[in-house]
Amino acid sequence: MDNLIKPYGGKLVDLVVDSDKAELLKKESQHFPSHTLTQRQLCDLELLMNGGFSPLTGFMTQDYYSSVVGNMRLPDGKLWPIPIILDIPDNVASKLELNSSKLALLDEEGFMLAVLNIESKWQPDKKKEAKQVYGTDNDSHPGVKYLYENTHGTYVGGAIEGVQLPFHNDFEILRDTPSELRQLFNKKGWGKVVAFHTSKPMHRIHREITLKAAKDVGANILLHPAVGQTKPGDLHYYARVHCYQAIRKHYSHDMALLSLLPVSVRMAGPREAIMNAIIRQNYGCSHIIIGPEHAAPPGIREYETRFYPSYAAQEMLKKYQNELDILIVPVNEMRYLEEQDQFIEINKLKKLGKEGVLFTDKEIKEYLAHNLIIPDWVTYPDVVEALKKVYLPRNQQGLTLFFTGLSGSGKSTLAKIIYAKFIEDGSRPVTLLDGDIVRQNLSSELGFSKEHRNINVRRIGYVASEITKNGGIAICAPIAPYTEMRRAVREMVEQYGAFIEIHVSTPIEVCESRDRKGLYEKARKGIIPEFTGISDPYEEPKNPDICINTADLAPPEAAQGLFLFLLKAGYIG
């Protein structure tokens, strides 16, 4: 007997066609235009196909999109907060005719997962979309930044015919569709289930929050972490899953279940909180835990960057609670009170005249990096052991040294000296990615336009991230003149290890005096176009990890200063 909450809209959507239809679509799709899906699009497609986005039956058409962006409503009036769209390159869009074309949707390996029937095609107003969905059109919000920089200019929408759910080669036993999870809840006799959404590792405080919520509403617990595209700086999901598996053992038998959610987070705050609630209703949960900063961008506590007021997500869900069957369980911020050995809500601490202690994820990472002992009240030993496998002590973890500066500033010379020192040390493999060498071997077809410069630096960043992920040292020395691209490389690398930005700040007049190739002279005469520092800007780093001016320093002296910085910070020795 099914005692579970009904899916949103009353019926769980399943867009995967039968085997005969799937084979026919595979054959026909050889003649369709195709699009290789991004990670976000793969996540969206999976939740469309398996019913996680019920009642949607495809990527949104323009009328759905406009209604959702402007009014948080589907055209039939149902509450829906986030546009689920498919953006494609203009050259692909130009091949598509409305109501007659079909688009084959491919994964990164080229497997055809689904066919989109083209019912709508348009160029969106992304600033308006950002303002409505995120509450800001400022690209310092990472969700807005992604919208501006990582989505194509044409949106297409229509019904989906699913051939095959996206493939997952890891943690298969922990991946459940809404239908499968509902069957499991019924098998276990779980009528009420409270969902916990997270993209961070879980510790003692999270166990306390989930247990309290479960007791308050009389429910079992679904630990339902996001394992698609998550927030900048988040630990990669494969490492987090080991933490979730470890903490799952600290719940009593049959109290909690762990399942992975293939969702791409938007960091859209209150609107995304509603989206998360709808998804969990489709997965069969009766309640969802909503914290004070639910779905907010990262760095709130560390940098005081705030796009949404605390508890804004809770307030919006309360406003629309009567339109949802799933109930929210609001959680206040909690801190640890040592004399009582327990976590207590801040408002209760204030009544006691106490402040309590907060131990952030950033502090946990710092403790592990410096091989310090994390207090027992923060987390469990087996969770610490899982984290230690990815948060190695600094002198053992992968590392990227990213030199940036004008041509002739001395960055390549410094990079080569530091490279030699690491080679001599021999404790970790080291690779030098000098700007000129990369240009010859990885980017020989590129010019020096802003677009091509960014492609070149992105390639360097990708190689550096792979080296860092595998415990090596990548030493990069491109000019890298643009702030946004340097930031993107940092984000690319920091999910796997350390990133040190070194600004070689030698003044342009000194750089020009060292120019044996006469490049600056040719640039001033207009012979070389788009030359950094002359006819193309160099955006100086505002907060580099270290700044070195080689105008009055011999190369060995400058390199020694950097080497001592790395030694003091714990990356050497």
Based on the domain organization, do 411 and 500 belong to the same domain? yes
Query: Do 382 and 361 contact (CB within 8 A), yes or no?
Result: no
| Structure confidence by residue, pLDDT tens digits, 248-286 | 999 998 899 999 999 999 999 999 999 999 999 999 999
Mean pLDDT of the chain: 93
Residues 6+ apart with CB under 8 A from 229: 39, 40, 43, 264, 265
- Digit-coded pLDDT (tens) for 147-181: 998 999 999 999 999 999 999 989 999 999 999 99
DSSP state of 29: G
Is 375 a domain residue? no
More reliable by pLDDT, 442 or 462: 462
In percent, how much of the chain has pLDDT > 70?
Answer: 99
Tens digits of per-residue pLDDT, 56-91? 999 999 999 999 999 999 999 999 999 999 999 999
- Whether 521 maps to a domain, the answer reads yes
Among the candidates 162, 183, 210, a domain finishes at: 162
Taking the C-alpha atoms of residue 250 and residue 10, their distance in angstroms, rounded to an integer, is 35
Beta strands at 473-477 and 498-504: parallel, antiparallel or unpaired? unpaired
| Number of domains the chain contains | 3
Does 153 lie in the same domain as 112?
yes
User: Any idea what the Cα angle at residue 507 is, between residues 501 and 513, rounded to 5°?
Assistant: 125
**What tokens were used for 214?**
């479960």
Return the higher-pLDDT residue of 78 and 1.
Answer: 78
| Secondary structure class of 218 (helix, strand, coil) | coil
- Compute the average pLDDT of residues 426-454: 85
Entry field: residues in the chain: 573
For the ranges 250-264, 443-457, 465-479, 488-502, the lowest mean pLDDT is seen at: 443-457
Residue 61 placed within a domain: yes
Per-residue pLDDT at 304 exceeds 60: no
pLDDT for position 67: 98
The mean pLDDT of 469-487, rounded to a whole number, is 93
Last-in-domain residue among 144, 162, 180 = 162
> Which amino acid makes up residue 573?
G
User: What are the residues whose beta carbons fall under 8 Å from the beta carbon of 525, sequence distance 6 or more?
Assistant: none
One domain for residues 192 and 295 = yes
CATH code: domain of residue 250: 3.40.50.620
Average pLDDT over residues 466-476: 94
Place of tokens 């890891």: 170
Please report the pLDDT score of residue 300 as a whole number. Answer: 59
Greatest mean pLDDT among 205-214, 350-359, 434-443 lies in 205-214
560 and 428 in a single domain? The answer is: yes
- CATH number of the domain that residue 117 is part of: 3.10.400.10
Q: For residues 557-572, give the mean pLDDT.
A: 91
123 and 35 together in one domain: yes
Give domain status of residue 356, yes or no: no
Beta bridge partners of 87: 155
Q: Which two tokens stand for residue 68?
A: 């959702």
Report the Cα 331 to chain-centroid distance in Å: 24
pLDDT at 302 over 60: no
This prediction has a pTM of 0.85
The two tokens of residue 18 are 């039968």
Q: Is the pLDDT of residue 418 over 90?
A: yes
Give DSSP secondary structure letters for 224-248: --B-SS--TTPPPHHHHHHHHHHHH
Q: Are 106 and 191 in a shared domain?
A: no
Give tens-digit pLDDT for 333-355.
999 999 999 999 999 999 999 99
User: Are residues 195 and 154 part of one domain?
Assistant: no
**Cα 490–Cα 453–Cα 229 angle in degrees, nearest 5:** 40
The parent domain of residue 44 ranges over: 19-162
- Residue-wise pLDDT for 19-31, tens only, equals 999 999 999 999 9
| 308 and 252 share one domain | yes
Residue 1: pLDDT over 60: no
pLDDT digits (tens, 9 = 90+) for 509-552: 999 999 888 889 898 988 888 888 898 899 999 999 999 999 98
Three-state SS for 354?
coil
User: At which of 294, 328, 351 does a domain end?
Assistant: 351
Q: Is 90 exceeded by the pLDDT of residue 446?
A: no
Structure tokens at 333: 């911020």
Residue 506: pLDDT band (50, 70, 90) is very high
Residue 472: pLDDT band by 50, 70, 90 thresholds? very high
Residue 393 in any domain: the answer is no
